[in-house]
Chains A and B, each alone.
Chain A
């Protein structure tokens, strides 16, 4: 309209956008940014909450003594703070859990992605999600009161103590199956159909297509799924605390009881430990170690997920 009124035809570009600055809009954007910053604040908070008492703890106990020591007896006199027994317990339960979760989860993913009809897939996925949604304390109860006495002792006649790493690890593995299956299935489903058709065209059987075409093509997603499963297993508290007992040893016999990093924190936090004592600070030092281990796992997993998304999207 204004352009028409200027004489020489030098058209003024009509101005787009709001006629005046809307401060309400800015305010809302500010509030949204504040909400977003809370997640950054959460990470910062976790770091501060762990780091400050951990540094304090290392004033009482040497870093090297903590990381390399093989004896964990905070309650004895004199106390010993070598974290290795807790790490052994963590990797033992995690290892057993992944021995269960990796084949079962990937097998389920291959079946759902390559074999199942859409209707079957639709019916099965919610069932797996229920399995993923069972509270871990119920898994712990199940491991202690059913899996150890009924399955391990009666059915398989394994000589296990009532609290043992084996039951905790296996049940934890089943808890992780849905996580592994769902991430791996996502990765396999996003492999382009043309790759499968090409292989079928060359005369490959379904077995070969699944294992030699789809599996390698989805490998980064599959690695992400397994790493995410490991990260969950390392951080799992209740199953280990309830079913694996509370003994810090260096034994790698899965039939015996064992602490893990997470279950030690849970057990110590539940007990009446005087605030400010060295033993109280162990909660934070062990928590720091747990956080660092899972952080590394998570970053690796996020990286691999991003890689397969980039290739096929």
Chain B
């Protein structure tokens, strides 16, 4: 290297120090975020590990903290997640198929639908709670604060996640597969059902899991919809009242310092 002379040499020391410094600052930005995640996990495990046993999972809420359990909330969460999954999979995939395989992108209404879905993905979750309250719990459907209303509200909330992931999965299927199928005389729907959908299943599944993992932790919309806080029975149907794990957590946190949360 030194034989090349001074034209191509090492950068001046001051610049190299700056360069390394910058790199370290950028790295510490990343490190700080990961550190906070570590702290959060430590805090949750340290506070929670001692209380997590079989009794906690199998008993209902109680006035005394060491007897309180989360059975109703656990089954409530399972119930609303089932409703949510059954709702978002067909509707989300159907929307993605329409937008990717049928819709003409030059039409303004199809572009409007796309912008609309992108916006829906970023609407605050509590606003979906208001939607659920106005149309599902009261108003036209008047279901009351039951499993069906809670599950559908969360379903509407995470539907854009499924649609966006499913669209990407469908777009990733090579068009040669479609053309081959069409050339063999298959109709458009036959092509979609037998070729495109099977090829896009992994991407769709990722989207559904992401959507459910977001829905399972949502608290705010369920509060607005009116999920019960103190309840001593498991949901036994779509029209049963329910509570859910996030709601249970919120209820326990917001009790003014009793022995349920001594911090």
Q: Are A32 and B94 in contact (CB under 8 A)?
A: yes
Q: Are A269 and B97 in contact (CB under 8 A)?
A: no
Closest-CB distance, B242 to chain A (whole angstroms): 16
Nearest-neighbor residue (CB-CB) of B118 within chain A: A302
Q: Are B40 and A35 in contact (CB under 8 A)?
A: no
Chain B: number of interface residues, binned into ranges = 35 or more
Closest-CB distance, B127 to chain A (whole angstroms): 5
Given A135-B219, A139-B40: A145 and B261 interface contact (C-beta under 8 Å): yes
Q: Interface SS of chain B: helix, strand, loop or mixed?
A: helix
| Contact string against B for A residues 156-182, beta-carbon threshold 8 Å, 1 for contact and 0 otherwise | 000000000000000000100110010
Q: Are B26 and A234 in contact (CB under 8 A)?
A: no
Closest-CB distance, A200 to chain B (whole angstroms): 11
| Contact string against A for B residues 15-27, beta-carbon threshold 8 Å, 1 for contact and 0 otherwise | 1101100110111
Interface flag for B216 (CB, 8 Å): yes
Contact of A49 among B47, B95, B131 (CB under 8 A): B131
Closest-CB distance, A196 to chain B (whole angstroms): 15
| Contact string against A for B residues 127-163, beta-carbon threshold 8 Å, 1 for contact and 0 otherwise | 1111101110001000000000000000010011001
Closest-CB distance, A225 to chain B (whole angstroms): 12
Q: What chain B residues lie within 8 Å of A141 (beta carbons)? A: 44, 249, 253
Q: Are A46 and B19 in contact (CB under 8 A)?
A: no
Q: Which of B206-240 contact A (CB under 8 A)?
A: 213-214, 216-220, 223-224, 226
Interface flag for A278 (CB, 8 Å): no
Q: What chain B residues lie within 8 Å of A145 (beta carbons)? A: 43, 47, 261, 263
Chain A: number of interface residues, binned into ranges = 35 or more
A45 to B139, CA, bound (A): 11
Q: Are A298 and B118 in contact (CB under 8 A)?
A: yes
Interface flag for B172 (CB, 8 Å): no
Given A290-B127, A294-B122, A302-B119: A135 and B18 interface contact (C-beta under 8 Å): no
Given A46-B130, A53-B134, A137-B219, 13 extra CB contacts under 8 A: A32-B98, A104-B29, A107-B26, A133-B213, A135-B217, A136-B220, A137-B217, A146-B43, A205-B16, A228-B122, A266-B223, A294-B124, A295-B119
Could you list some 5 contacts between A and B, CB below 8 A?
A42-B131, A49-B130, A128-B33, A231-B122, A295-B123
Nearest-neighbor residue (CB-CB) of B115 within chain A: A302
Q: Are B98 and A33 in contact (CB under 8 A)?
A: yes
| Contact string against B for A residues 59-83, beta-carbon threshold 8 Å, 1 for contact and 0 otherwise | 0000000000000000000000000
Interface flag for A12 (CB, 8 Å): no
Q: Are B123 and A291 in contact (CB under 8 A)?
A: yes
Q: Which of B16-53 contact A (CB under 8 A)?
A: 16, 18-19, 22-23, 25-30, 32-34, 36-37, 39-40, 43-44, 47
Interface flag for B63 (CB, 8 Å): no
A219 to B141, CA, bound (A): 46
Contact of A131 among B37, B133, B220 (CB under 8 A): B37
Q: Top 10 nearest A-B pairs by Cβ distance?
A: A135-B217, A235-B124, A107-B29, A49-B134, A35-B94, A237-B220, A32-B98, A111-B26, A108-B30, A269-B224
